[in-house]
Amino acid sequence: MRMIDLYIQEVTRRLPEKSREDIALELRSTIEDMLPDDYSEEDVKPVLEKMGNPAILASGYLDRPMHLIGPRYFDVYINLLKLILPIAAVISLISLIANTIISYSGEEAVLNVVLDVIGLGIWGIISTGIQVFFWVTVVFAIIERTDHKNSQTPLTACFKEWTPDDLNNISYIPKEKAISKVEVFLGLLWTAIWASGYFNAASLLGVYEKGSNGLEFVTPTFNQEVLLSYWLLVVVVIGLEIAVDMYKLTTGQWTRKIAVLNTVMHGVSSIVFIVIISNNQLFNPAFVTYMTDLFSITGDFDNWFSWGAISAFLLFAVVDVYQGFRKANIKK
């Protein structure tokens, strides 16, 4: 008797309140039907074994699924995770790096800061990843439980069932023309690094010397006031870079439009770079003297340095612009 009660309780506690009594009554009459008139506990065991695991029996009575995310939503779920996870990871990394550079006071050794950023970066990516994974999963589990349509047909990314017309929304991307997400994210990362560097050049860029507490900041490279007077131009360049990167990310492949945009971006940033670097007030006089002494350069250090930097910058820009057009023109 006791075992039957326990069995029925095990089933009904998993069921909604209103159906419990009725199902309990039916189960009891069924179980007793299967037993001889005068039964002992020993007789009950094989009967209950026949009835099977109470959890399985209960789940049969419930319409609720026994999975977190079923076949209808699984594909959308995985695709969304693949889309969101890397974006979230990159955003957390970029904000960490920007934050570190901005709050850098110049007291700590650069190497330590870099190691810190790597450690925190890994931790940040993991914890952001777990957060994103958790919330996306929760949302899908709720959708799965609130969608009462009986259809099991998997859904596409637009939360509709697949039709051949969906193929029109996909562009065929040959490998040679593809812009990888990594490329875009590295671009964004680079923008974040140089932009934070620009606004904190006073405490970051300069000459370091070995001192009693490791590396010590001796003198900044730039004349901060002169450097920062160009902030509006720099913000324009930052905006352009981010816009081009975003456009690359959404298009996913090199097109003429992107190649042209890329050229405009490089053109504008080259002009801004040349304008800033050719200002003869730009370099901190202390830095110039230091360098001239160090390399015992005869002649004009600023000039020499400026021309080197401009050539390197332009060379890089031209190569990138050329590659852009080359990839955009690949016919496939």
Partner 1 sequence: MSTLLNSLTTELRRGTLTLAVLSQLRTPQYGYSLVQLLEQCGISIEQSTLYPLLRRLEKQELVTSSWDTTESRPRRYYVLTPYGIDIYQQLKKEWEKTSQELSLLLKGEDNG
Structure tokens at 178: 């593809």
CB of 52 or CB of 239, closer to partner 1: 52
Least distance between partner 1 and beta carbon 71 (Å): 16
Least distance between partner 1 and beta carbon 62 (Å): 8
Q: What is the total count of residues that contact partner 1 (CB under 8 A)?
A: 17
**Residue ranges in 8-67 that form contacts with partner 1 under rule CB under 8 A:** 23, 25-27, 29-30, 32-34, 50-53, 56-57, 60-61
CB of 33 or CB of 165, closer to partner 1: 33
CB of 35 or CB of 268, closer to partner 1: 35
d(CA 68, CA 142): 9
Contacts of 72 (CB under 8 A, 6+ apart): 144, 147, 151, 152, 153, 154, 155
Structure tokens at 254: 């090199």
> DSSP per residue over 251-288, as a string?
H-B--HHHHHHHHHHHHHHHHHHHHHHT-TT-B-HHHH
CB of 25 or CB of 186, closer to partner 1: 25
CB of 13 or CB of 326, closer to partner 1: 13
Least distance between partner 1 and beta carbon 50 (Å): 6
CB of 56 or CB of 111, closer to partner 1: 56
Least distance between partner 1 and beta carbon 18 (Å): 13
Q: How many residues are present in the chain?
A: 332
**Residue ranges in 146-165 that form contacts with partner 1 under rule CB under 8 A:** none
CB of 17 or CB of 33, closer to partner 1: 33
Least distance between partner 1 and beta carbon 46 (Å): 12
Q: Using the rule CB under 8 A, is 139 a contact of partner 1?
A: no
Structure tokens at 258: 């992107």
Site string for partner 1, 214-253 (x = CB under 8 A): ----------------------------------------
Least distance between partner 1 and beta carbon 67 (Å): 17
CB of 61 or CB of 325, closer to partner 1: 61
Q: How many CA atoms lie within 13 A of 234 on its CB side?
A: 16
Neighbours of 278 (CB within 10 A): 14
**Residue ranges in 61-120 that form contacts with partner 1 under rule CB under 8 A:** 61
CB of 44 or CB of 89, closer to partner 1: 44
Contacts of residues 77-82 at CB distance under 8 Å and 24 or more positions apart, as own/partner, are 77/136, 77/137, 77/140, 79/157, 80/136, 80/157, 81/132, 81/133, 81/136
Structure tokens at 177: 């023309």
Provide the CA 249 distance to its chain's centre, in angstroms.
Answer: 13
- Find out whether 109 and 210 touch, Cβ atoms under 8 Å: no
- Find out whether 140 and 293 touch, Cβ atoms under 8 Å: no
Instruction: Give SS3 for 172.
Output: coil
Provide the CA 155 distance to its chain's centre, in angstroms.
Answer: 24
| Residue numbers at the binding site for partner 1 (CB under 8 A) | 23, 25-27, 29-30, 32-34, 50-53, 56-57, 60-61
